[in-house]
Amino acid sequence: MKPTHFALFLLVSCVSVCCEQGLQKKSLIFPEETNSSYVSLHPVKPMSLTAFTLCMRLASELRNKRDTILFSYYKSGDALNLWSEPGVFTLYLLNSTPASFRVPQLSSFWTNLCVTWKSSSGLTTFWVNGRRSVRKVYRQGHQIQNGGIVILGQDQDRWARSFDSTQSFTGEITNVHLWDYALSSDEICSASEGYTEPQGNVIDWNSVEYKAEGNVLIEPIND
């Protein structure tokens, strides 16, 4: 084999084992607290965001027990983090006091959770099972920077490492979608009630490239 062909073979081989693709009708099950189990997601568009909608379905029995990471995007810090904390959900955008919302918390049953944010106005809203929270103004004029990494299951204190088991997610996660704009109330309600199939234009659960590390089960959602 010629050197150039061999190099190409190695590159293709590395790419082929890097990631799986598509989680349609599947859920991630994190059965235990760890500092090593997570799933990385690979956005199809740059994470340079001046607005976003982040939606997911979750079930967990950690309600009100401790701080639990739900979504971690790290770029020189907590660029976009979503947490369940005792009594509240919180959104963190880099180097700021979080926006906290007292809304119904996670349980053993599925929760449809969405959060929207617009830099132009700072308006931030949580949605739980199709019901909208009060709107708050948070990080007006801020822009989320591209070039980071998205992880489910762990909070990143450094790039894809420095995990703390006492902040890890345990339970099930599915249908994670991210858009680079704020969905309308009708669009969020329609997706939450199952009338439409969401398809994020930055992260689309149905086709996203992902890589699982550690003790994470990937199972059909309806089994």
Interatomic CA distance for residues 131 and 208, integer angstroms: 27
Residue predicted with more confidence, 4 or 18? 18
Q: Tell me: the pLDDT tens digits for 73-116?
A: 999 888 999 999 999 999 999 988 999 999 999 999 999 999 99
Q: What is the DSSP letter of 223?
A: -
Contacts of 32 (CB under 8 A, 6+ apart): 170, 215
Q: Tell me: the pLDDT tens digits for 131-153?
A: 999 999 999 999 999 999 999 99
At residue 62 the predicted structure's pLDDT band, cuts being 50, 70 and 90, is confident
- The pTM (predicted TM-score) of the whole model is 0.89
The mean pLDDT of 15-43, rounded to a whole number, is: 89
Q: What is the DSSP string of 185-220?
A: HHHHHHHHTTSS----SSEETTT-EEEEESS-EEEE
The mean pLDDT of 34-42, rounded to a whole number, is: 96
